[in-house]
């Protein structure tokens, strides 16, 4: 691998470019007209404009990205996360061009991207799955046949994720009411209106396991806690997961590795689980076939640069880490600081920023594209920065996080940094006693003045 095209923008593009540079690989940035002066463009060795600001006319146009790779002599493409990262067709097109795709094979992306197929693979690998329908169903009458799952049940899009098409229903009447809208939403988002049903765990933890494979073998890098979510989008992540004992951790990480081996996984990936907060049972949800937003927490506790390992594997190298060599030390927290106004219902707040002060000091990492006197464009995700903090234990990491977040200031647009400081003050957070519904309930209580 000599020249890498980074098919993304923002902090993840910056992160990948830096990893490539550490390996002596030259880089090509792609950008919309809105990002012509962006940090990732300036850091790369070459840059190609691929279209106007809307992602559908630039970062999601595979042909434009492939032409940029051809014109600059790139021999590999890293998709980052989001955009085209989990599009099997894009991975196949990259391979057809004779380029290395920094990610798993197209058939693996396709298999794991279909939730029904992924559940079947997980079951074949002996990985526990949430009780549900054996396949996707296209109409509510077919779904009713799955009543033996037991209510409440969750309706989920068979062909996608990211919270699209999800509904929780308590009875058959609710199912009949919710199914058509959920199916239409799934069809609009993923081109496939099939839904599947699974048992809804009311007090569920969202815990994911980081895996790395080379197509022949796979290893894990422990787990991350991702339960603090708003509108099914992660807000705060941790490595490791509080309240997960050694027995559950060993079983869950072993299951994730079995799944990765079952599909011949090559690259970094994440196996996501629901953990019943009361029984501590865990169930496979899905596999994300890309680098995750929250990967820095794992890097801080294991000391392994996951993006570098992705690049090495894509270049044909075998795994460099045996499972016995991978250890976790300390605790890490990540806070996704967005240009959103919590006082106005988390309204996205693009605009021009003035002064920017980013936290620093020992064991504080900030992954960002943000610079003083730059514009936050309205066309993309509102993520400004990821503040990632390590401590020798969870309590130390929380204290250091308070200090780091207090230092984070951006003039010109509201951000969510102050909200995280308040979350850190909550007894339930300090105790690690929360689930996927905790944050939204706390936000609702705050709005009503009771928290």
Question: Per-residue confidence at 161, pLDDT binned at 50, 70, 90?
Answer: low
Given a cut of 90, is residue 52 above it in pLDDT? yes
Q: How confident is the model at residue 36 (pLDDT cuts 50, 70, 90)?
A: very high
Per-residue confidence (pLDDT) for residue 116, from 0 to 100: 81
Q: Which residues are catalytic?
A: 290
**Fold of the CATH domain 204-447:** D-amino Acid Aminotransferase; Chain A, domain 1 (3.30.470)
Q: Are 3-102 and 131-199 the same fold in CATH?
A: no
User: What is the pTM assigned to this prediction?
Assistant: 0.89
Residue 162 has pLDDT above 70, yes or no: no
User: Could you say which architecture CATH assigns to the domain 131-199?
Assistant: 2-Layer Sandwich (3.30)
Read off the pLDDT of each residue in 165-179 and give the average, rounded to a whole number.
90
Q: What is the pLDDT of residue 353?
A: 97
Q: What is the pLDDT of residue 21?
A: 97
pLDDT, tens only, 221-252: 999 999 999 988 899 999 999 989 999 999 99
Q: What digits encode the pLDDT tens for the residues 301-343?
A: 999 999 999 999 999 999 999 999 999 999 999 999 999 999 9
Q: Which residue did the predictor score with more confidence, 79 or 200?
A: 79
Position 450 scores a pLDDT of: 55
Q: Which of 127-136, 297-306, 365-374, 399-408 has the lowest mean pLDDT?
A: 127-136
What the block records as the tokens of 25 is 């690989």
* Residue, of 307 and 143, whose pLDDT is higher: 307
Confidence bin at 45 (pLDDT 50/70/90) = very high
| Domains in the chain: boundaries | 3-102, 131-199, 204-447
Q: What is the predicted pLDDT for the residue at 378?
A: 96
Residue 272 has pLDDT above 60, yes or no: yes
CATH class of 3-102: alpha beta
Q: What is the mean pLDDT of the chain?
A: 94
Per-residue pLDDT for 143 more than 90? no
Q: Give the residue-averaged pLDDT of 385-413.
A: 98
Q: In this predicted structure, what is the pLDDT of residue 231?
A: 87
Task: Work out the pLDDT band at 438, boundaries 50, 70, 90.
Answer: very high
pLDDT in tens, 83-98: 999 999 999 999 999 9
Tell me: the pLDDT tens digits for 334-391? Answer: 999 999 999 999 999 999 999 999 999 999 999 999 999 999 999 999 999 999 999 9
Phi, psi values for residue 137, rounded to 5°: -125, 145
- Range name among 12-16, 63-67, 126-130, 155-159 with the lowest pLDDT average: 155-159
């Amino acid at each position: 691998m000599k020249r890498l095209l980074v098919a993304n923008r923002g902090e993840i593009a910056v992160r990948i470019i830096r990893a490539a540079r550490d390996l002596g690989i030259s880089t090509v940035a792609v950008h919309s007209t809105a990002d012509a002066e962006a940090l990732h463009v300036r850091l790369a060795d070459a840059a190609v404009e691929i279209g106007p600001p809307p992602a559908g006319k630039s970062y999601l146009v595979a042909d434009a990205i492939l032409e940029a790779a051809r014109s600059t002599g790139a021999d590999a493409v890293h998709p980052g996360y989001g955009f085209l990262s989990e599009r099997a067709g894009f991975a196949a097109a990259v391979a057809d061009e004779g380029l290395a795709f920094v990610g798993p094979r197209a058939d693996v992306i396709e298999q794991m991207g279909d939730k029904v197929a992924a559940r079947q693979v997980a079951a074949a690998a002996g990985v526990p799955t949430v009780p549900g329908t054996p396949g996707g169903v296209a109409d509510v009458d077919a779904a009713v046949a799955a009543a033996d799952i037991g209510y409440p049940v969750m309706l989920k899009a068979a062909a996608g994720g990211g919270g699209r098409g999800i509904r929780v229903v308590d009875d058959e009447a609710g199912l009949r009411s919710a199914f058509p809208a959920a199916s239409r939403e799934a069809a609009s988002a993923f081109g496939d209106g099939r839904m599947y049903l699974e048992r809804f765990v009311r007090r569920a933890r969202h815990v994911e396991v980081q895996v790395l494979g080379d197509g022949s073998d796979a290893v894990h890098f422990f787990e991350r806690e991702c339960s603090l979510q708003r509108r099914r989008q992660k807000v705060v992540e941790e490595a490791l997961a509080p309240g997960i004992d050694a027995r559950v951790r060993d079983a869950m990480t072993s299951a994730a590795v079995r799944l990765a081996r079952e599909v011949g996984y090559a690259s970094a990936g994440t196996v996501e689980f629901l953990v019943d907060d009361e029984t501590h049972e865990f169930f496979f949800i899905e596999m994300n076939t890309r680098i995750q937003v929250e990967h820095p927490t794992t890097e801080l506790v294991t000391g392994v640069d996951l993006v570098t390992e992705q690049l090495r594997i894509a270049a044909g190298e075998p795994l460099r880490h045996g499972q016995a060599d991978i250890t976790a030390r300390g605790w890490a927290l990540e806070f996704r600081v967005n240009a959103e106004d919590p006082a106005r219902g988390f309204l996205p707040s693009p605009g021009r920023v003035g002064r920017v002060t980013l936290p620093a000091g020992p064991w504080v990492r900030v992954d960002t594209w943000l610079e003083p006197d730059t514009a936050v464009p309205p066309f993309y995700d509102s993520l400004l920065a990821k503040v990632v903090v390590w401590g020798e234990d969870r309590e130390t990491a929380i204290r250091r996080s308070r200090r780091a977040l207090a230092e984070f200031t951006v003039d010109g647009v509201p951000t969510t940094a102050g909200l995280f400081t308040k979350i850190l003050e909550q007894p339930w957070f300090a105790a690690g006693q929360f689930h996927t519904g905790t944050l939204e309930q706390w936000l609702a209580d705050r709005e009503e003045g009771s928290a």
